[in-house]
Amino acid sequence: MSEKKTGGISVNTENIFPVIKKWLYSEKDIFLREIVSNATDAITKLKRLESLGEIEANTAPYRIDVTLNKAAKTLTVEDNGIGMTEEELKKYICSIALSGAVDFIQKYEGEGEGSKNGIIGHFGLGFYSAFMVSDTVEIHTRSYTGAPAVHWTCSADGEYEIEADDKEGRGTEIIMHITDEEAAYLEAGKIREMLNKYCAFMPVEIYFDDGSEKKEDEGEKPINDTTPLWQKSPADCTEEEYKDFYRKVFYDFREPLFQIHINADYPLNFKGILYFPRIANNYESIEGQVKLYYNQVFVADNIKEVIPEYLLMLKGVLDCPELPLNVSRSYLQTNSYVSKVSAHIVKKVADKLVSMCRDDREQYEKVWDDIKTFVEYACMRDNKFWNRTKDCLLLKLTDNRHVTISDYLETAKEKHENTVYYTTDPALQAQYIAMYEAQDIAVVHFDNMLDTQFAATVESQMQGVKFVRVDADVAGILKGEEQVSENTALAELFKKVSGNDKLTVKFEALKDADIPTILNVSEESRRMEDMMRMYRMTGGEGAMPDFPVDTTLIVNISSPLVEKVATMQTADSAKAEPFAAYLYRLAVLSHRRFNAEEMQAFLKESYRILAELAQ
């Protein structure tokens, strides 16, 4: 047997640099985030040494300067942080993927503590992102230790030179010589856009010099906010600050409905602010936008994996220092920390709804119609969310009052226990609503298709509870005490004039004698019909057979008109027929809209009756 041999894989710079230039990051703009993040780390490290008493406190303010020189084709990032010695420069810059941040954390913070103190870099590749847009990169650096300054120059082929430098102040200056192919990065507007996107909330003040002449009265202002609102305690934030932050981040000048400030400590360790946006109309896109940050550094726009899909309409920011800065979607989909963050967000949203309902009921009712669809959908998708929010779910009544489901059922105990009566069209179903309200039965207004699906969820969660549309049943309380007997001949007459020999005709003595006839479609039949309709609307493949509609004509024997038709039918069925037809069409009209043929017949019959009255 031959002798076993071991060795290490070697990578030549002429092979790795082309890969870095093309594939290090999917978006080239990220190079500026990486370089500025390194500058932030350099200052954070120096601050840490100050706090530990390793060095004397610094009197000059910490800052990062980004300077554009279009004529020289350079973009420079300079900090007054910890700096590097020649030895450190060789160790951390000349060796790809050897991160100085990791060494610093292990020496001064202990394993796993870096995120708590704002150290951003962990990988050592960020610096080399500069070569994605540069053919040459220079470093001028001087260590806080007082060691001699060093000048490092490296070309895109990986060949570098190190020599002494005359830099006086401590810190690091990185000069990127932008290639002709990437000339877009020499435009001030482009650089400002990138800084606003990636560096708007970094913890060190960043100043941008775009090379233009400044007016004498123009004060120097940082481009970033070093203390973003999510880093503050909720108790220290005002409503106006929340609104201003929302406008600033999302460029949406409509005020959000309300916000949820998250400040999760161990073991999750993340912060953020989530907003329920105001939707202008039903046709507006309801997809929100949640920006992901890492120690105040922008990572990604609208990372859906961190938010449950039923809460994607939320807008906000999340700062998750436990996630890697170079996070990928595949990583997010399988990471246990992400799933715990998602679960915590769901809990915080539910807690917010419960607290608003309990402590600020008036405001809660004002926003309910805007958030109802989202909340109902969340309850349908997540059983835990339902359990947390079930006591604050509101039903809107036809008189515009709001009641919780439990309050409605409590009131219904005496007259219609465990039954919720609702309408989907208050105008079309006005006659039915009037019948119920005359008996002090509150009617719920369902104003979108999701409501009826949500009702099915409530029925499955609350044993014995049923939702019934007002035109699906005649509640016992609507009936009088008069004895009801069947009239076979009259029933056959109504079947004939309806054109439906399968029509079910029932006789009832209703308390409201002004209503001669009404149509009922059973709740089960109507829901199945709605489901078929939705299937066709969503483009379901294949021909779906029409579901047989279980329609019942309720004939009110208390009505003088019905009594008149019954008498006429006994004496002269031919004369009774047009009257029965007219009563049937009135019942249809109060139940649904006419089709063209029905409308034509109804108008013709109406004109004939008016002509007879005019004689």
Tokens of 588: 């249809």
User: What are the structural domain ranges in the chain?
Assistant: 13-209, 229-363, 393-476, 479-521+544-614
C-alpha pair distances (Å), 272 with each of 66, 236, 331 = 28, 15, 21
Q: Give the single-character DSSP code of 400.
A: S
pLDDT digits (tens, 9 = 90+) for 352-378: 999 999 999 999 999 999 899 889 999
pLDDT digits (tens, 9 = 90+) for 264-285: 887 888 999 999 988 765 545 5
User: 134: exposed, middle or buried (C-beta count within 10 Å: 0-12, 13-18, 19+)?
Assistant: buried
Tell me what pLDDT residue 589 has: 87
pLDDT digits (tens, 9 = 90+) for 211-234: 887 766 667 899 999 999 999 999
CA distance 124 to 92: 7
Averaged pLDDT for residues 541-554: 62
411-447 core/surface letters (b: 16 or more CB in 10 A; e: else): ebeeebeebbbbbbbeebbebbbebbbeeebbbbbbe
Q: Residue 457: pLDDT above 90?
A: yes
Tokens of 514: 């002004």
CB 321 within 8 A of CB 295: yes
Higher pLDDT among residues 330 and 114, named by residue: 330
Q: What is the assigned CATH class of domain 393-476?
A: alpha beta
> Percentage of the chain with pLDDT > 70?
84
Q: Residue 41: pLDDT above 70?
A: yes
Averaged pLDDT for residues 392-416: 94
Under the banding of pLDDT at 50, 70 and 90, the label for residue 189 is: very high
CATH number at 479-521+544-614: 1.20.120.790
CATH number for domain 13-209, candidates 3.30.565.10, 2.60.120.620, 3.40.50.2000, 2.40.110.10: 3.30.565.10
Of the candidates 199, 246, 87, the residue with the CA atom closest to the CA atom of residue 152: 87
CB 101 within 8 A of CB 41: yes
CA distance 349 to 133: 43
Averaged pLDDT for residues 95-110: 53
Q: Is beta strand 134-142 parallel, antiparallel or unpaired with respect to 171-178? A: antiparallel
> Percentage of the chain with pLDDT > 90?
45
Under the banding of pLDDT at 50, 70 and 90, the label for residue 140 is: very high
Does domain 229-363 match CATH 3.40.190.10? no
Q: Residue 198: pLDDT above 80?
A: yes
Give Rg (Cα) of the chain: 36
Task: Say what the pTM is.
Answer: 0.80
Higher pLDDT among residues 521 and 344, named by residue: 344
Higher pLDDT among residues 601 and 188, named by residue: 188
3-state secondary structure of 276: strand
Tokens of 462: 């609350």
CB 604 within 8 A of CB 582: no
